[in-house]
Amino acid sequence: MTNILTIRNLLLISPIFLLTVKHWINLIVIFMFINSLVYLYSNKNSLKVNFHSSFLKLQLIISFSLLGPFLAVAISQILRNELYFPNYDAPLRLALCIPIFLAVSNGWLSNINKEPILFIWMKYSFPSLLFFTFLFKPSWTSMRSINDVWGRDRITTYFVDALSFGSLTLLIGLISIATLIIFWNNTKLYVKIYLMLSATIGFYFSIMSGSRTGWLSIPIILIFTLNNFMIKIFGKIKSFLIVSLFIISIILLAHLQPILINKFYLIFEEILNYRWNDVNPDNSVGMRISFYRMALFYFSNNPINGWGDVGWIKLINSPEIAYYTTELTREYARNGFHNEIITSSIRSGVWGLVSSINLFLIPILVTLKLRKYDFNYQIKIMRFFVLIFVIHLFIAGITTEVTNLVFLASFIGFTISVTIGELLNKSYYLNKRNEDKICI
């Protein structure tokens, strides 16, 4: 029992040091992977063999979505007769989360009558992540080269790139706002203040990172929160006032970072001025559009085997792409194509394309399938969290790779495993309880 409590407590605090301790979340995943295997083996005869086939199918497809990126790399490398271990780093972290998901969905570290792990994450752990990152200022400048690369007026921690840092802090800030609204009626004042402050820190960090990555998710998450919770809790007029105040606050905060303001102004200008039949200047949006066009060309030339990291370099000066790109743009793609699905498709061909889409699509489809249990408020909140979490990652993945960094792959796989695992476990018990009532 002591061991279980210790593991559970470690699970509860696991998000806090995500952005400040370099290998923290990777070590958490490895530790939880080992202990989940021990749990599954020790309870192999008493696991829920009476799980309905529908729940077993959901377990199977979630497991497949986490394993998919690893299989994609393996298949494409076998087809290319290549072995390059670094490509397995991030996919392996996702695959390690499969036993964690299976254990949690079978009741590991949770109690059906106690507050879900996710709720503790939402109210305390995620806000603490932002507070600790804010208080631990030495981590902002611990590696001089990071600041030299991104600019000394942009904030990030010593091992996180500014795009990922801005996207993650924005996501946690939005989760803090959503949590404040969802639990408004049964949350103590100090927790409300804590959530407000953490949300402010999250938006401040995202703005000061100078990154636009993931910002398109703000209106989507606001609409989701309004429809599912805010209007029912505060009414239409108060909800309108709250949303208006939130938008005004974000606009005012944004003026702390001139770089970000300029980037937003330049978005439409660079899109409108993009040249589809002539060489384009090397600007942020224009280069990304060119990356996507280049990627389509590379993918079409080797859709089955994929190219690995830079196998496409043999086509770099092809006239099909040279007429609209500079040499810098073509060379810069060595750092990735600034899109999660596209980068995976170039690296692993059609296998990477399918696995990347499934990593986002399957969790969304599973949560939509479980909407019939929304009469239970806990399940409704769990579903909401998974949806906004995955949708934000998908939107962020349009302009940067979200699983290329090993720590991000660990965080994403671990969060999906725990949250969907709890969601399935809760839904199973609810379904079983209703069936027992019918039998009676």
Find out whether 267 and 216 touch, Cβ atoms under 8 Å: no
Which residues have C-beta within 8 Å of that of residue 146, sequence separation ≥ 6?
156, 158, 159, 161
Query: Is 330 within 8 Å of 315 (Cβ atoms)?
Result: no
CA 81 to chain centre: 32
Whole-angstrom distance, CA of residue 428 vs CA of residue 430:
5
Distance of alpha carbon 135 from its chain centroid, rounded? 24
> How do the pLDDT tens digits run along the chain, 440 residues long?
447 668 999 999 999 999 999 999 999 999 999 999 999 998 877 665 445 577 888 999 999 999 999 999 999 999 999 999 999 999 999 999 999 999 999 989 887 567 899 999 999 999 999 999 998 865 565 444 444 555 567 888 888 888 999 999 999 999 999 999 999 998 899 999 999 999 999 999 999 998 889 999 999 999 999 999 999 999 999 999 999 999 999 888 888 888 888 888 888 888 888 999 999 988 888 899 999 999 999 999 999 999 999 899 999 999 999 999 999 999 998 888 989 999 999 999 999 999 999 999 999 999 999 999 988 999 999 999 999 999 999 999 998 899 988 999 999 999 999 999 999 999 887 776 655 443 33
What lies within 8 Å, CB to CB, of 201 at 6+ separation is 130, 131, 133, 134, 169, 173
> Following CA atoms 283, 285, 287, 290 in sequence, which dihedral angle do they give, to the nearest 10 degrees?
-150
In tens, the pLDDT along 138-166 reads: 556 544 444 455 556 788 888 888 899 99
Distance of CA 74 to the CA centre of its chain: 23
Give the single-character DSSP code of 110.
-
Helix-, strand-, coil-residue percentages of the chain, each rounded to 5 = 75, 0, 25
Look up residue 49 and give its DSSP letter.
T
The pLDDT of residue 143: 41
Residue 305 has, within 13 A of its CA and on its CB side, a CA count of 12
End-to-end, the C-alpha distance of the chain in Å comes to: 34
- The DSSP code sequence of 66-80 is HHHHHHHHHHHHHHH
Diameter over CA atoms, the chain: 74
Between CA 385 and CA 120 the distance in angstroms is 13
Residue written as token pair 């939130």: 246
Q: What is the total residue count of the chain?
A: 440
The structure tokens listed for 359 are 């990593």
Distance of CA 107 to the CA centre of its chain: 24
The predicted-structure confidence for 5-24, as pLDDT tens digits, reads as follows 689 999 999 999 999 999 99
pLDDT for the residue numbered 46: 65
Q: Which residues of 12-34 are buried (b: 16+ CB within 10 A; e: fewer)?
A: eebbbbbbbbbebbbebbeebbe
**Predicted structure pTM score:** 0.92
pLDDT of residue 370: 92
Cα distance between residue 312 and residue 89, in whole Å: 21
What pLDDT does residue 144 have?
Answer: 43
The whole-number pLDDT of residue 430 equals 79
φ, ψ at 259 (rounded to 5°) = -60, -45
Look at residue 440 in the predicted model and tell me its pLDDT: 32
